[in-house]
Amino acid sequence: MKKMLLSILLIIIILFVIDKCTVINLSPKLLFNQNKYKKFPELNDGLQCDKFSIERATQTSNAGIQYFPKKNFFLINNLNPIKIDSIGNKVFELDIEKQHTFNFLEIINCFVVGIDSIYDFSDDKSTSKPFNEVLNKDKSIKSEKWTQIFEQLYQSSDIVLYGWRTEFNSAQCVYFHAEGKWTKLYLFDNLGSIYIFSEGSKTKCKIKGKEIPHKWYETHYLKDVKKAKYSNEYRYTDSYITPYNIDVSFFPDQKLKYQSIGEIKTLAFSKEAYTTEGYLNPGIPSAFYGTGYYELTTDNATLSFRTIAYKNNGLAESIQTDTYLFSLPEAFANKSEVCFLSYDYSTNFHENNKKGVYVIKKHQQ
């Protein structure tokens, strides 16, 4: 009896060492479903099932996804901003690297700002519009006069944007839109009680201690309800936001209601490689990298796929899938059935070049 117990204990130790120190897979899920999982297609552009398909929009991780209810479209804030309409079609993509004469500065709301012109992605056909008037580029306007110009333009404009980046190190800008024309007003450091400043990811304006709100289009982030993550580029979670969001000013979308439209279920993970990070590590794996097998379920339909995932080596460590299913707030769910799969693989090791945002489009009847 004692020998039997020792034998069992020895087998358990051997299996534990194999599982934690090698890429040999002992998972029952993999062993019993190996043939099934081999048939899963790799995450890619054009995958589809009977009710929906997925189309790859970007090839980078953590691209921000925003929704603009007034014009009913989505903006993917990638290296190149992309406009997606309410049924999931790509309307417009601005290849910033190829726009050498545009001189890109920043993206504010749904406006892509250059040194001499601006794109409004809410337009049906977005084109670069030059600034009709540029003020104070020569620093000639004094504080009192600057304030008067600001107030006059602010009152008459339907869009007012505060720009943090300009071609000058010591300057910011205010952009005014009125009656189809754009005006650019520079602000330099020498105007005393007038400030355009950065507060976290937001750019704000204060004049004589009073904060002046921007004028722009209403916009909202999407959310993966199951994982409590939002579609901003930092992938904020509710647990991260809550301590800073007492007055809801830090992240206003947290007050909105979101309803789950499905889930990405992890079925299994197959180890294929490992790293051995850590001080004086004798060669014990610190993390395993391999293939994750998934089921994407939404609209009562399921799409199976596989892609790279990883898992830290330890007791009760979970598989890091870096996959999210983002959907609209409940208040706008009746305006679009589009949702997004974002694959934000967070390391360059053992990657498969499949990371990015994928648009989930319902098949049209």
| Cα torsion angle, 262, 268, 273, 274, sign | positive
Delimit the domains of the chain by residue range: 25-65+221-365, 70-211
The whole-angstrom separation of Cα 350 and Cα 352 is 7
pLDDT of residue 190: 65
The whole-angstrom separation of Cα 106 and Cα 100 is 15
SS3 labels along 29-71: HHHHHHHHHHCCCECCCCCECCCEEEEECCCCCCCEEEEECCC
pLDDT of residue 365: 66
What are the pLDDT digits (tens) for 323-362?
A: 999 999 999 999 999 999 999 999 889 999 999 999 999 9
The whole-angstrom separation of Cα 184 and Cα 175 is 5
pLDDT of residue 112: 97
pLDDT under 50: residue ranges of the chain: none
The whole-angstrom separation of Cα 365 and Cα 214 is 41
pTM: 0.92
The whole-angstrom separation of Cα 339 and Cα 54 is 10
For strands 220-221 and 223-224, give the pairing.
unpaired
What are the pLDDT digits (tens) for 103-118?
A: 999 999 999 999 999 9
Any residues with CB less than 8 A from the CB of 335 and at least 6 apart, and which? 69, 72, 86, 328
The whole-angstrom separation of Cα 179 and Cα 171 is 26
136 and 121 Cβ atoms separated by less than 8 Å: no
What is 68-123 written as a DSSP string?
ETTTTEEEEESSS-EEEETTS-EEEE--GGG-TTT-EEEEETTEEEESSEEEETTS
pLDDT of residue 99: 80
pLDDT of residue 9: 86
pLDDT of residue 316: 82
The whole-angstrom separation of Cα 77 and Cα 97 is 15
The whole-angstrom separation of Cα 63 and Cα 309 is 19
